[in-house]
Chains A and B, each alone.
Chain A
Amino acid sequence: MLNRRNFLGLTSSLLTGSLLLPDLLWGYDASRPFKDLVIGHGSHRYKIDYDWGLLDSSQYPVKDCHEMVQDSKGRIILLTNETRNNVLIYDKSGKFLESWGHEYPGAHGLTLSKENGEDFLYISDNNRHEVIKTTLKGEVVMTLPFPQESGKYEKADQYIPTEVAVASNGDIYVADGYGMQYIMRYNAKGELLHVFGGRGDGPEHFDNAHGICIDDRDTSNPRLLITARQQNALKHFSLAGEYLSTIELPGAFICRPVIDGENVYGAVLVSKLPFGSESGFVTILDGQNRVISNPGGSTPLYQDNQLQRMHQVVKVFKHPHDVCVDDDKNLYVAQWNSGGVYPIKLVRV
């Protein structure tokens, strides 16, 4: 098994050798043992467990680890586009429990919905151009094919759904984040009710509507919170699909918003363009939608009430694609295009 807690960083730094003389252990004090690294800011700081969830990749391989959720039993469910096992299920300690799924080559979005006391999963498949609702055992309950009835699409290829959110009344919202940027609203039976969003220059439009969730922090006023990744922003919409407001996140190509308690969490895929590979981090907002911590990223700084541009400061992550917050407030970070790595667990300190 690969031990990821080695000194790879040290070796690569020596090999690539900057033109400057590398002073590798700047500030090193031989009399003091190494300590655990801690990332993040203020109330949301974390130790880093690279070995969580490691499996024998010949038996349980992953490609892109796209998204993760925790089910009602406390189990951690990972979705990958590796069709040998699209779904891997762990306990919180990282112990493997079970796997299923071979028919989701474009497995991308994973949403858990509690409906009449039972957990269901919604898988957004980029390659199949549809959304599939399953039980936790992988039995297919419903399929939402490409929404031809919307009148927005000529063919299925134009529709590349990335995420689903399910409201308390059972309405299902699908974000076409890699397609034409529309948000589809269905009823619980899968009948299309409304389409909004789409490409454009208005605040109600999207460029890479990559994630969507129900923001029910104000229980009297649940809203949709939708990613506009290329615009480095999250946007609030009413459940009826009316644009409300924008949360600017300068520099952060945020994937999907995840609500936990009063906070919004998000994986930031990269933090700069155009050559931003492997520059991701995690961002955490408070109840007023202000960034309070960036594990792996820069200290959040507001000047004149404007959030200053954020970026990666330590190379803990490559391309974070999703954050799952468990019931202990620890985080699991799934990564896209990061060399087939399993998720990283962040343990809150």
Chain B
Amino acid sequence: MSSSILHYSLFSLSFLLIACSPPPQAQQESPFLQENSIQLASPVLETGSTLFRDSVRVELALGMEGAVCFYRVGKNELIAYEGPFWIKESCELQAVARAAGWLESEPAIAVFKRAGLQVAKAFLESAPSSSYPGDGVSTLIDGKKGSLNFHDGKWLGFDGGSMVALLDMETPINAEALTVSILSDPGSWIFPPKRIEVQASGDGKQYVKIAEKDYPTPASTTTGGLQYLELELESTQARYFKVTVEGLGLVPDWHPGAAQKGKAWLFVDEVILEIAE
């Protein structure tokens, strides 16, 4: 029996047990919380940069005696965690914690991205804030992932505005996808962009739009994280790619900063171009 079938069986069994047997009772009426009434927290996922060239090591742990972590890479089967493992391809990783007497955790999720083409030169048509200049435009193409700490010097921060970046590949390529790596941290006034547009050009003068995408605005400060915003590109041979990442402008109405018409920050650390393999 494959482990996924086994997993389905166990899952059904759980429901059968709930449906068919008398509800589990404590031996005597207890004033205290009983087993299987409280959920575990998601496991802690320790990893290097989620943007990687060759591979990246991942460790999982809950930090609780008796708890076991399970994970799946992409659409693969869920497997029990037995020790550190390596991610070698772009993928989404999900991990949950389980322990007898406790309800399974929500999944911890991380997206891993293999670094794209080496961009020869890049230019910024909009200047980042002097508070978050990163390492200038090279920040966008250095393959170094910013962390959740937006002060780490690996981010370009734009205060209320947008980012317009120009990538020069030196020779024409047929790019398939472009990814903008951003930070969303609404509690710190940092929001995903409203919209991203990609234009391509052979001569650096005449540009044609080859992708465009709108993004939803977060509805609370409790969500966020490192995000890769990927756009599929219309097939074109081009040397120059212009990426316009349009910031939100002002913080949304629900935000504590709305009363003072606070500006929404836009934080970008990488722009990644990929071609079909």
Contact with B35, one of A35, A277, A310 (Cβ below 8 angstroms):
A35
B96 and A20 form a contact (CB under 8 A): yes
Q: Is the interface of A mostly helix, strand, loop or mixed?
A: loop
Instruction: Say if the beta carbon of A33 comes within 8 Å of chain B.
Output: yes
Question: A13 — which chain B residues lie within 8 A by C-beta?
Answer: 39, 103-104, 106
A21 and B8 form a contact (CB under 8 A): yes
Distance in Å: Cβ of B36 to nearest Cβ of chain A: 6
A26 and B187 form a contact (CB under 8 A): no
Instruction: Say if the beta carbon of A326 comes within 8 Å of chain B.
Output: no
Interface size on B, residues (CB 8 A): 54
- Measured in the bound complex, the distance between the Cα atoms of B32 and A49 in whole Å is 5
Name A276's closest neighbour in chain B (CB-CB): B222
Contact with B21, one of A16, A30, A314 (Cβ below 8 angstroms):
A30
Question: A5 — which chain B residues lie within 8 A by C-beta?
Answer: 33-34, 37
Tell me whether A274 and B148 are in contact in the complex, defined as CB-CB below 8 angstroms, given that A10-B37, A33-B26, A48-B33 are known contacts: yes
Instruction: Say if the beta carbon of B258 comes within 8 Å of chain A.
Output: no
B11 and A298 form a contact (CB under 8 A): no
Instruction: Say if the beta carbon of A22 comes within 8 Å of chain B.
Output: yes
Name A298's closest neighbour in chain B (CB-CB): B63
Name B7's closest neighbour in chain A (CB-CB): A21
Instruction: Say if the beta carbon of B256 comes within 8 Å of chain A.
Output: no
Q: Which of A1-55 contact B (CB under 8 A)?
A: 5-10, 12-13, 16, 18-30, 33-37, 47-51
Question: A22 — which chain B residues lie within 8 A by C-beta?
Answer: 11, 104
B106 and A24 form a contact (CB under 8 A): no
Question: B40 — which chain A residues lie within 8 A by C-beta?
Answer: 313-315
B64 and A298 form a contact (CB under 8 A): yes
A26 and B188 form a contact (CB under 8 A): no
A315 and B107 form a contact (CB under 8 A): no
Question: B187 — which chain A residues lie within 8 A by C-beta?
Answer: 274-275
Residues of A at the B interface (CB closer than 8 Å) are 5-10, 12-13, 16, 18-30, 33-37, 47-51, 273-275, 277, 279, 297-299, 301, 310-316, 347
4 pairs of A and B residues whose beta carbons are closest in the complex:
A27-B100, A298-B63, A26-B98, A47-B32
A-B contact pairs, 24 of them (CB 8 A): A6-B37, A7-B37, A10-B36, A10-B37, A18-B94, A18-B107, A20-B94, A27-B98, A27-B100, A28-B100, A34-B34, A35-B34, A37-B35, A47-B33, A274-B185, A274-B224, A275-B185, A275-B225, A298-B62, A299-B65, A311-B41, A313-B64, A314-B38, A316-B38
17 additional A-B pairs beyond A22-B11, A34-B24, A314-B39, beta carbons within 8 Å, are A10-B36, A13-B104, A18-B106, A19-B107, A21-B7, A21-B78, A23-B104, A27-B98, A36-B33, A37-B35, A37-B38, A277-B222, A299-B65, A311-B41, A311-B44, A315-B38, A316-B33
